[in-house]
Amino acid sequence: MQYDPENIFAKILNGDIPSFKIYEDEETYCFMDIMPRSDGHCLVIPKTPCRNILDASPEQLAACMATVSKVANACMRAFEADGISLQQFSEAAGGQEVFHLHFHIHPRHEGVSMRPAGKMGDMDVIKAQAEAIAAALKP
């Protein structure tokens, strides 16, 4: 399978589609999921083309995981979470819908289930959550 440079996450990286940015470095970009399954649900992606974990280079994976760790810890602080669920789906049969490598970070609270997939969130709430995570990233 080939990488599609017109996928929605590539368009976000190119600035063609807006996003609620949380964090960015030379190799990765982290932003809010607009169909959140948990409060603070965000995504980490590499800035370079990569379809999924099956074609990711060791460098892309290392960069993404460093950002995942940083943002997951910020989510723990921002939402006073009890834990984090990390999801990654590869290929359609594995549940992947957007074919650009991405990791879902879900702040979790004891006894609270994740919401169903596919429901658009409230943009004002999502923006406020992005700001809370970004603030928790600051020393």
- Yes or no: say if 81 and 75 are a contact pair by the CB < 8 Å rule: yes
Q: Whose CA is closest to 33, among 94, 92, 114? A: 114
Distance, CA of 22 to CA of 31 (rounded, Å): 5
User: 10 Å Cβ neighbour count for 66?
Assistant: 14
Tokens 């879900």 appear where? 106
Side-chain half-sphere of 104: how many Cα atoms within 13 Å?
21
Catalytic residue numbers read: 102
